[in-house]
């Protein structure tokens, strides 16, 4: 029986999968649904001094794996959250990380009001610009206003080590990485107009497309700071969550997958983590936490190595041969890789749907 529990900043979670700030956690009822769906903690949608005026349309899926939004923060005023939504979220009984934004003044006003309903805060820095000082001031304002752990959520478009170190120095207890990436654009072919109702027509990218970006940011931050990191960005499966933990995260969040699939996504990711861990012989998250940091390369590998085909697993489906840019793969009863032509690029290893190509480089 594998153990998925995790503890950081004095907060204990039975599993490390939680919602990320967004529509799937837009109010108290959504928090109840997230808990029923198997989340290990509740992160509430970012609120600010006033409810956001959200342009519409504000969400689109322009391609499989890529999602655009122009949603800002919660459209509900803080008074509504305080009177009706946070009390409902509290009833759920899971640890609560309350999302707040943005400026030092907003934070100083909101933290004391929300603190009775929260176990920790997540400060969104999405609109604070490319300089660390507004972020540091927001963290200090939060630290001066309560005794709860303060997480700071960073954009992927800042210099991660610089911002992570500045956040740690300003007193942050943890870092959440990443927010959505942008601005980005998609165009509706029928109208020739942007698909987003924002004043620029731009939106921010999330979902599977940003997973490698999020993974790199978590990996980089984990090398820069000693405080815990929560990974978010494109997570939609148990193996995505495991990779995030290998990169140094202590827990994960997911937003786009929860929008597309509904609140059962959290429990599904947990189940997939359990079954992967059982197969791999891992008993707890500690067994592989930060594994990729321990295996960090010291130099580039320059010698090409030809992958090997597992004759038991290969079905000669041809996917590898079709996408071999070096024409090194031919199909016989199974795929055959010509070592003289093979560039050692490794693409066939990741394209094979049966894990039948192994690369011992
Ligand atoms: C529709 C939508 C609304 C979002 N609202 C917020 C928000 O209020 N505050 C925030 O910090 N991040 C917000 N985000 C960003 C997500 O929390 C998350 O960081 C990002 O989407 C990457 O994760 P994902 O690929 O799992 O969605 C929003 C994302 C989406 C798609």
* Predicted confidence (pLDDT) per residue in 187-218, tens digit: 999 999 999 999 999 999 999 999 999 999 99
Q: Classify residue 235: in a domain, yes or no.
A: yes
3-state SS assignment for residue 55: coil
For ligand 1, atom 30, the nearest C-alpha belongs to 22
As a whole number of angstroms, the distance between CA 6 and CA 16 comes to: 6
316 and 278 in a single domain? The answer is no
Q: 46 in ligand 1 pocket by Cβ < 6 Å?
A: yes
Question: Phi and psi of 310, rounded to 5°?
Answer: -85, 110
Alpha helix positions (H), the chain:
28-36, 78-80, 86-91, 104-114, 132-145, 160-169, 211-224, 238-246, 256-261, 265-280, 291-294, 319-322, 347-351
287 and 332 in a single domain? The answer is no
| Measured distance between the N- and C-terminal CA atoms of the chain, rounded to whole angstroms | 33
Q: Classify residue 331: in a domain, yes or no.
A: yes
Question: Could you list the residue range(s) of the whole structural domain that residue 169 is in?
Answer: 6-294
Torsion of CA 112, 114, 120, 122, to 10 degrees: -100
Dist. CA 99 → ligand 1 center (Å): 11
Q: Classify residue 279: in a domain, yes or no.
A: yes
275 and 341 in a single domain? The answer is no
Q: What pLDDT is stored for residue 129 in this prediction?
A: 87
288 and 312 in a single domain? The answer is no
Q: What pLDDT is stored for residue 287 in this prediction?
A: 98
* Predicted confidence (pLDDT) per residue in 252-276, tens digit: 999 999 999 999 999 999 999 999 9
340 and 208 in a single domain? The answer is no
Q: For the domain that residue 139 is a member of, what is the CATH number? A: 3.20.20.70
Number of the ligand 1 atom closest to the C-alpha atom of 153: 11
Average per-residue pLDDT for the chain: 97
* HSE of 346, CA atoms in CB hemisphere, 13 A: 8
SS3 content of the chain, % helix, strand, coil (to 5): 35, 20, 45
* Cα separations in angstroms, 8 against 25, 51, 77, 120, 313: 22, 31, 30, 11, 41
Q: Classify residue 1: in a domain, yes or no.
A: no
Q: What pLDDT is stored for residue 1 in this prediction?
A: 87
**Which residue among 22, 209, 218, 236 is best mutated to probe the pocket of ligand 1, counting the most ligand atoms within 8 A of its Cβ?**
22
109 and 219 in a single domain? The answer is yes
Q: What pLDDT is stored for residue 292 in this prediction?
A: 98
The pTM (predicted TM-score) of the whole model is 0.97
As a whole number of angstroms, the distance between CA 125 and CA 145 comes to: 18
As a whole number of angstroms, the distance between CA 182 and CA 156 comes to: 9
Q: What pLDDT is stored for residue 321 in this prediction?
A: 98
- The tally of domains found in the chain comes to 2
Q: What pLDDT is stored for residue 163 in this prediction?
A: 98
220 and 73 in a single domain? The answer is yes
DSSP β-ladder status, 42-47 and 96-100: parallel
112 and 219 in a single domain? The answer is yes
Q: Classify residue 347: in a domain, yes or no.
A: yes
Tell me the average pLDDT across 96-121. Answer: 98
* Predicted confidence (pLDDT) per residue in 285-343, tens digit: 999 999 999 999 999 999 999 999 999 999 999 999 999 999 999 999 999 999 999 99
Question: Phi and psi of 209, rounded to 5°?
Answer: -60, -25
């Amino acid at each position: 029986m594998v153990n998925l529990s995790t503890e950081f900043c004095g907060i204990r979670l039975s599993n490390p999968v939680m919602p990320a700030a967004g529509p799937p956690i837009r109010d108290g009822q959504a928090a109840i649904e997230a808990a029923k769906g198997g989340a290990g903690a509740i992160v509430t949608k970012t609120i600010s001094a006033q409810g956001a005026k959200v342009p519409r349309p504000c969400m689109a899926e322009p391609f499989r794996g890529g999602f655009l939004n122009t949603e800002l923060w919660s459209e509900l005023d803080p008074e509504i959250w305080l009177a009706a939504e946070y009390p409902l979220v509290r009833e759920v009984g899971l640890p609560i990380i309350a999302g707040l934004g943005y400026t030092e003044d907003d934070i100083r006003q909101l933290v004391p009001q929300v603190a009775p309903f929260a176990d920790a805060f997540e400060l969104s820095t999405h609109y604070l610009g490319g300089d660390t000082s507004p972020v540091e001031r927001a963290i200090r304002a939060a630290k001066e206003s309560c005794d709860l752990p303060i997480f700071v959520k960073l954009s992927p478009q800042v210099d991660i080590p610089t911002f992570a170190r500045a956040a740690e120095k300003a007193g942050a207890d943890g870092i959440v990485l990443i927010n959505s990436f942008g601005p980005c654009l998609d165009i509706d072919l029928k109208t020739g107009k942007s698909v987003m109702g924002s004043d620029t027509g731009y939106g921010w990218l999330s979902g599977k497309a940003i997973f490698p970006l999020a993974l790199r940011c978590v990996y980089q931050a984990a090398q820069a700071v000693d405080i815990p990191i929560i990974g978010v960005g494109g997570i939609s499966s148990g193996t995505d969550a495991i990779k995030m933990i290998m990169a140094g995260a202590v827990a994960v969040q997911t937003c786009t997958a929860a929008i597309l699939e509904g609140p059962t996504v959290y429990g599904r990711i947990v189940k997939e983590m359990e079954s992967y861990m059982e197969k791999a012989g891992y008993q707890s998250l500690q067994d592989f936490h930060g594994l990729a940091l321990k295996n960090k390369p010291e130099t580039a590998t320059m010698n090409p190595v030809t992958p090997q085909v597992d004759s038991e697993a290969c079905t000669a489906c041809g996917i590898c041969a079709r996408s071999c840019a070096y024409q090194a793969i031919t199909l016989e009863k199974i795929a055959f890789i010509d070592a003289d032509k093979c560039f050692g690029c490794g693409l066939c290893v990741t394209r094979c749907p049966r894990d039948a190509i192994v690369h011992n480089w």
